Amino acid sequence: MKKMKLACKLFLLALLVSCGTDPVEIPQGAYENGVLIINEGAFGANDGEVYHFDKNTAEVEANVFENINTRPFAGLLQDLISYEDYTYLVANTGKVEVVQSSDFMSVGAVTNDLVNSRSMVRADGKLFISDWGPYDATWSNTESFVAVVEDLTGGEIAYKIPTPSRPEGLAFIGDRILVACQLGTIAVIEIGEDEVEKTITVEGTPFFFFDYEGNKYLYANDSEKIYLHKLNSATFEVVETLEFSVSNSIYNGNFTINNNGELFVISNQATEDVVVKLSITSGSVVDEDFYSGSNFYGLGYDDNTQTLYIGEHNGWQGNGTVLRVNSQGVLIDEVSVGRGPSGFYFP
Amino acid sequence: MSLIACLVFFITGWQSEPDSSRAFQQDTLELSTVEVHAAALRKYAFGQWVRTLDRDRLDQLSGYSLGEVLQQETGLFLRQYGAGMLASLSMRGTSAGHNALFWNGLPVNSPSLGQADYSIFPTGGFDNVNIHYGSSGALYGTDAIGGSVHLSSDLEFNTPNELRIGTVLGSFGRWHQQVSYRQGGEKFSFRTNVYRNFAANKFTYKDWASPGTPERQQEHARVSQIGLVQDFAFKISPRQFLKANLWVNKNDRQIQPLLGSAANDVQEDRSVRSAVDYTYKGEKYTWTAKTGISSDVMVFNQDTNQTRLFLLGTALDYSFSQKWQTLAGIRYSHIKGQLATYSRQEQRIELYQATNFKPTQDLGISMQLRQLIQEGEAAPFTPSLGAEWSFFNSPGWNWKLTGNLSRSFKIPTLNDRFWVPGGNPDLLSEKSLSKEIGISSTGDLSSFRIENRLTYFHMDVDNWILWLPQSTYWQAENVRSVRNQGLEYYFKTTLKQGRNSWGINVDYALNGAVNQSGDQGNNLSVGKQLPYVPRHKLRTQGKLENGPYSVYVQQQWTSERFVTTDNQTVLAPYSLWDTGVTYAFEWKGKLKGNLGFHAYNLFNVDYQVVRLRSMPGRNFQFNLNVVL
């Protein structure tokens, strides 16, 4: 018996030593590499899906969600938010699917009482989901809200926080949730409270928050300009606004940013769509025609390979195409993807 | 391939059977009232097939919509967006707007949408369904690119008064009630028909959009419908007839949500249709005058869309001799649309002419011409040429070769041209050039009757209109070219053995609809089959009648459908089996009627006609019709 105990202790010691010197690597899941492509899907068809692109082999895996979970995603995929453990697929048809980030296995969903969900953020062990709410008779959204779910794998909505109309992107700073609302405000919500603490009026139509050099920015646009509002991290007031003269930037607010503080934005012009390159550092338009074509819909920038990904919707009648363009604006290749490629995630 | 081999066998196998049949039956047979309308449609349509659906089956399907009837009874494919929901017809691989629907000769495709929702035409509103397969724009005007469907009402003179009460009870809260009263005098006859259809559609479905794919009960798919049909017929003199038809229909629907969507849309459709026909039958000619109005109101949630069509037309059908007949007519339409985002009125004048030439008893040739002028602008000139050659006649057997070459067109809809935003007033008419050849045979051998029909068609459709995204909104544009080709096969046989009468029906359609153009430069779509056009649809029915009893089993199989133009997303094929039994009764000559019990989707197949639109599983129906 003593020999057994000794053997066990030695084994445990050996294990500890080995762990300390040579940590066991958890193998990365299939979807923690490469590129996840968000395909929004067509209205009335609910055929949003995630495609996976392998940068080494240039192979595409179609319909990742359906392949793994043997059921269709069945929604219009508005946003994809990924954390180390779970990835959240936000559908504007009123649901959020939760999958494991490593293998895309479904672990739950939020399906009840969402109407037109747009994006989400995770904070304090809760999910905060922005939702436009229903349309009224004049096609306005007067009952917009942020839904709070107290389980990271989905389930019932614990409560709803009414917000200004058309909430889009969210951010978590300190103990506050910031909500970009399309009618020109940032709504500030203190975690744990069930109402908006204050609203901050900003110029343009706000869409998404992003971080650059330790600062929180808000992306907003109107028909003439793009606005990057730099926010105070304590009061969330706008401390500086960078304005760029870019007309008709895409209506869904899609853009991407790289590590050098260069922003890429789609501008819909009369006969073509143009990717415009902006610089936060210089506060100016760097390249008015970085790349042009037609039916541009989504953008993503891969800093590792210095590659810009442009999603083309191809008129929505069929599936879309992704163009890969290098940092010089030269086309690398084209890849067939799902319907309405609207965004990219680089794990 | 084996299927095609079977078809060839049917055709070649029976060719040597000795018998004869007369060619051009429409000219030589005494026709019942039921067939009169069909005969008028067929008269100038040599080379094409006008099919009349079986009246008994229509009776059994009372309470059903035209969409459900065509899906069950023919090889035509309808995109059904759920139980009792929007059903749009695709003929010969064309789109929903490329076939024309008529009720008593009145065009009832919505002028704003350019198509009809076949789910809101209940069988209570008409007596007969005739289907004209193939391009027939020269005969019927706009929209008839893939074919046309004709609904008509019968009213006979000198018939006994009749009160008919029909009830249908079915699964998932289906309840249909219909009462009609008919009185037919020597000079005047009328019929009043009221009906009510209700379907809660609380069927169980698998929720593919939720984790664990739980079974749920459909909650937002209730359909209710009420309607009134009033038919009159006057025999003004032995040569003069007046016919008037009125149909009022109201349809309320909760729109069954797409799986994964939380929408709670509701739709109300109200329609009033009326047609008045005057006919003068001379020695050698028939003069007809027609007027009608079709008014539709569709309220989708809060948005109201209203269209009205007024039609006035006259035609002279003159028979020079047995060899030559001609028809000439003019039609005026006034269309008014008050839609959610625009209002518009416009006028159309159509001149048409058709000529039949029968050089011999066995050969018939039809030529039709039509020119439509809309607001002073000419639509594509539409000629058509068809021929029918009865090349083998023997007692009991008749074999025919048919062929047709025709142009058809579709005027861009009001929405395509004027919807704000995105309507495009500069749109051209969609147009098609169609060719078809066919072979058919009928055999009538005392207790055994057989009919075979095989058609090959080839059609090019150009200027096909699509709504495509522009910088800030979608716009209608003439962008697509499509080549449609395929086969249609129809087989029917009946065999009488003592008290038993056996019957088999087969309908098969092969539809290739290949995108030639890509859509706005989308190369992924070039050379691909159009979405929601199944390459194959096969429908078979076997039935046995014994005295008052009748039993049937039928199956329909629909092949895979593509969801997108690049054919990357596919919906699985499905096969549905139905069966039913009916019993006809009569009591002392005072009361008669029938009882029926039907089981649909017998094997409880979980299927979707359109992706993510749930359809009901196994369901049952009981019907009782009483005639006093």
- Within 8 A by CB and 6+ apart from A11, the residues are none
**A162 interfaces chain B, CB cutoff of 8 Å:** no
Q: Do B524 and A94 touch (CB under 8 A)?
A: no
Please report which helix (H) or strand (E) contains residue B43, including its range: helix B33-43
Q: What is the pLDDT of residues B127-182, one digit of tens each?
A: 999 999 999 999 999 999 999 999 998 888 888 899 999 999 999 999 999 999 99
- In tens digits, chain A (347 residues) has pLDDT values of 444 444 444 444 444 434 444 444 555 678 888 999 999 999 889 999 999 999 999 999 999 999 999 999 999 999 999 999 999 999 999 999 999 999 999 999 998 899 999 999 999 999 999 999 998 888 899 999 999 999 999 999 999 999 999 999 999 999 999 999 999 999 999 999 999 999 999 999 999 999 999 999 999 999 999 999 999 999 999 999 999 999 989 988 899 999 999 999 999 988 899 999 999 999 999 999 999 999 999 999 999 999 999 999 988 888 899 999 999 999 999 999 999 999 999 99
* Residue B28 pLDDT greater than 70, yes or no: no
Q: Do B524 and A317 touch (CB under 8 A)?
A: no
For residues B514 and B529, is the Cβ–Cβ distance under 8 A? yes
Please report which helix (H) or strand (E) contains residue B73, including its range: helix B66-73
Q: Do A109 and B211 touch (CB under 8 A)?
A: yes
Q: Percentage of chain B surpassing pLDDT 70?
A: 93
Q: What is the pLDDT of residues B234-290, one digit of tens each?
A: 999 999 999 999 999 999 999 999 998 877 899 999 999 999 999 999 999 999 999
Q: Do A317 and B519 touch (CB under 8 A)?
A: yes
Q: Do A111 and B209 touch (CB under 8 A)?
A: yes
DSSP state of B9: H
pLDDT at A118: 97
Stronger pLDDT, B532 or A4, i.e. the higher one: B532
CA distance to partner chain B, nearest, from residue A79 (Å): 16
Stronger pLDDT, B18 or B227, i.e. the higher one: B227
CA distance to partner chain B, nearest, from residue A327 (Å): 26
For residues B256 and B265, is the Cβ–Cβ distance under 8 A? no
* Residue B31 pLDDT greater than 80, yes or no: no
Q: Do A315 and B522 touch (CB under 8 A)?
A: yes
* Residue B77 pLDDT greater than 50, yes or no: yes
Q: What is the pLDDT of residues B204-216, one digit of tens each?
A: 999 999 999 999 9
A with B: how many residue pairs have Cβ under 8 Å apart? 114
**B521 interfaces chain A, CB cutoff of 8 Å:** yes
**B525 interfaces chain A, CB cutoff of 8 Å:** yes
For residue B563, give the nearest of A47, A74, A295 by CB distance. Answer: A47
Instruction: Map residue B69 onto helix, strand or coil.
Output: helix
Which residue in A90, A222, A314, A339 has the most chain B C-beta atoms within 10 A of its own C-beta, making it the best mutation to test that interface? A314
Q: Do A72 and B260 touch (CB under 8 A)?
A: yes
pLDDT at B33: 47
Which residue in A104, A317, A322, A342 has the most chain B C-beta atoms within 10 A of its own C-beta, making it the best mutation to test that interface? A317
Q: What value does the mean pLDDT take over residues B103-121? A: 94
What is the Cα–Cα distance from B576 to B563, expressed in whole angstroms? 21
Could you tell me the CA-to-CA distances from A334 to A129, A255, A302, A325 in Å, in that order? 34, 20, 16, 9
What is the Cα–Cα distance from B76 to B609, expressed in whole angstroms? 13
**A229 interfaces chain B, CB cutoff of 8 Å:** no
pLDDT at B30: 39
What is the Cα–Cα distance from B510 to B92, expressed in whole angstroms? 8
* Residue B579 pLDDT greater than 50, yes or no: yes
Residue-level length of chain B: 628
pLDDT at A2: 46
- Within 8 A by CB and 6+ apart from B229, the residues are B124, B125, B126, B153, B180, B191, B192, B193, B194, B195, B245, B246, B247, B248
For residue B471, give the nearest of A97, A114, A268 by CB distance. Answer: A268
- Within 8 A by CB and 6+ apart from B87, the residues are B65, B67, B68, B71, B78, B79, B80, B81, B117, B118, B119
Residue A248's closest chain B neighbor by CA?
A: B471
- Within 8 A by CB and 6+ apart from A223, the residues are A247, A248
Bridge partners (DSSP) of residue A273 are A268, A293
Q: Do A317 and B261 touch (CB under 8 A)?
A: no
Q: Do B564 and A315 touch (CB under 8 A)?
A: no
First to last CA, chain B: 52
Report A:79-108 residues touching B (Cβ under 8 A).
Answer: 91, 93-95, 97, 106-108
Neighbour tally for B399: CB within 10 Å? 21
pLDDT at A185: 96
Do the interacting molecules here have an ipTM over 0.85? Answer: no
* Residue B308 pLDDT greater than 90, yes or no: yes
**A73 interfaces chain B, CB cutoff of 8 Å:** yes
Which residue in B205, B255, B265, B524 has the most chain A C-beta atoms within 10 A of its own C-beta, making it the best mutation to test that interface? B524
Q: Do A74 and B211 touch (CB under 8 A)?
A: no
Residue B610's closest chain A neighbor by CA?
A: A45
Q: What residues of chain A lie within 8 A of the CB of B521, using their CB?
A: 294
Tokens 């089996």 sit on residue? B577
For residues B166 and B176, is the Cβ–Cβ distance under 8 A? yes
Q: What is the pLDDT of residues B410-444, one digit of tens each?
A: 999 999 999 999 999 999 999 999 999 999 999 99
Report B:324-383 residues touching A (Cβ under 8 A).
Answer: none
**A251 interfaces chain B, CB cutoff of 8 Å:** yes
Q: Do A94 and B262 touch (CB under 8 A)?
A: yes
pLDDT at B368: 95
Q: What is the pLDDT of residues B455-492, one digit of tens each?
A: 999 999 999 999 888 767 889 999 899 999 999 999 99
Q: Do A268 and B519 touch (CB under 8 A)?
A: no
Stronger pLDDT, B569 or B622, i.e. the higher one: B622
**What's the pTM value of the predicted model, to 2 decimals?**
0.87
Q: What value does the mean pLDDT take over residues B396-422? A: 95
For residue B525, give the nearest of A44, A94, A317 by CB distance. Answer: A317
Neighbour tally for B357: CB within 10 Å? 16
Residue A49's closest chain B neighbor by CA?
A: B569
